[in-house]
């Protein structure tokens, strides 16, 4: 079998209205429009997500509630640091999860489905390997991506964040007689370097980096690369 391992955010799909920083900023501006805070200022305060320490596994966060609860101190610290009164922070933190996971906010890039369908037709099986929220399966279902995805490996369920080697090993252990395996993602460290450390060739998409051997501005370029240069995974 031939397998393509795909990142999700920034590769296959995205959240309309922004990711973590802009979601929290939306909550702040709605509750305290008078507070003058920029995305850059808020972004600097949002440190402590699981993927900020990918070398540390977190199997103990094995339920959606436990996973999100572990992030509450990150949001609380950011809010208090920008001057949100303590009596408001609790309610604002509670708003984050439903707003961020609102299915109506999530989109696929226009080239995602056509490219995955083209590759499926030539014998490739698609796997999603991503650092994401526990609600990702529902997001993928909502986007009609599920019929094309043979397996989903999400850090919120596995406890391993890319580029942790075990995140990639989980996929390789699942794959049946892999004759060729590629990783495709938009992060040069988590996706490309993480995969290549285990001998998996990787394609950097929607961006560029001097250390990336394969780069694509659009997913439409991926089929040509994998069909031409496919090689077995180590």
Average pLDDT over the chain, rounded to an integer: 95
pLDDT tens digits, 133-171:
999 999 999 999 999 999 999 999 999 999 999 999 999
How long, in residues, is the chain? 234
* d(C-alpha 205, C-alpha 222), whole Å: 9
Q: What does the domain layout of the chain look like in residue ranges?
A: 2-14+107-229, 15-104
* d(C-alpha 75, C-alpha 132), whole Å: 17
Per cent of the chain over pLDDT 70 is: 97
The CATH code belonging to domain 2-14+107-229 is: 3.40.50.1000
pLDDT tens digits, 21-57:
999 999 999 999 999 999 999 999 999 999 999 999 9
Strand partners, 2: 124, 180
Q: Strands 13-15, 106-108: parallel, antiparallel or unpaired by DSSP?
A: antiparallel
Write the DSSP symbol of residue 104: G
Q: How many alpha carbons lie under 13 Å from residue 70 in its C-beta half-sphere? A: 17
pLDDT at 233: 41
Q: Strands 13-15, 214-216: parallel, antiparallel or unpaired by DSSP?
A: unpaired
Beta-carbon contacts of 126 under 8 Å, excluding residues fewer than 6 positions away, are 3, 4, 6, 116, 119, 120, 148, 149, 150
Question: By the 8 A CB rule, do 176 and 157 touch?
Answer: no
pLDDT tens digits, 183-213:
999 999 999 999 999 999 999 999 999 989 9
Q: Taking residues 80-90, report their average pLDDT.
A: 95
- Going by pLDDT thresholds of 50, 70 and 90, the confidence category of residue 228 is confident
* d(C-alpha 48, C-alpha 183), whole Å: 26
């Amino acid at each position: 079998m031939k397998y393509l391992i795909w990142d999700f955010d920034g590769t296959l799909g995205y959240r309309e209205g922004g990711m973590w920083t802009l979601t929290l900023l939306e909550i702040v501006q709605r509750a305290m429009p008078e507070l003058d805070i920029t995305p850059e200022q808020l972004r600097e305060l949002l440190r402590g997500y699981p993927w900020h320490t990918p070398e540390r596994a977190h199997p103990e966060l094995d339920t959606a509630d436990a996973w999100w609860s572990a992030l509450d101190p990150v949001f609380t610290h950011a809010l208090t640091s920008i001057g949100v009164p303590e009596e408001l922070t609790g309610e604002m933190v509670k708003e984050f999860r439903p707003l961020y996971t609102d299915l109506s906010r999530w989109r696929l890039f226009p080239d995602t489905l056509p490219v995955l369908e083209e590759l499926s037709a030539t014998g490739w099986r698609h796997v999603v390997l991503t650092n994401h929220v526990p609600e990702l399966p529902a997001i993928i279902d909502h986007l009609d991506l599920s019929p094309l995805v043979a397996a989903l490996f999400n850090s919120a369920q596995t406890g391993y964040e890319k580029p942790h080697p075990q995140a990639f090993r989980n996929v390789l252990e699942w794959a049946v007689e892999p004759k060729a395996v590629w990783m495709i993602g938009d992060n040069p460290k988590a996706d490309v370097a993480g995969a290549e450390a285990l001998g998996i060739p990787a394609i950097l998409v929607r961006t560029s980096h001097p250390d990336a051997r394969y780069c694509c501005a659009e997913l439409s370029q991926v089929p040509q690369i994998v069909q031409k240069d496919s090689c077995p995974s180590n």
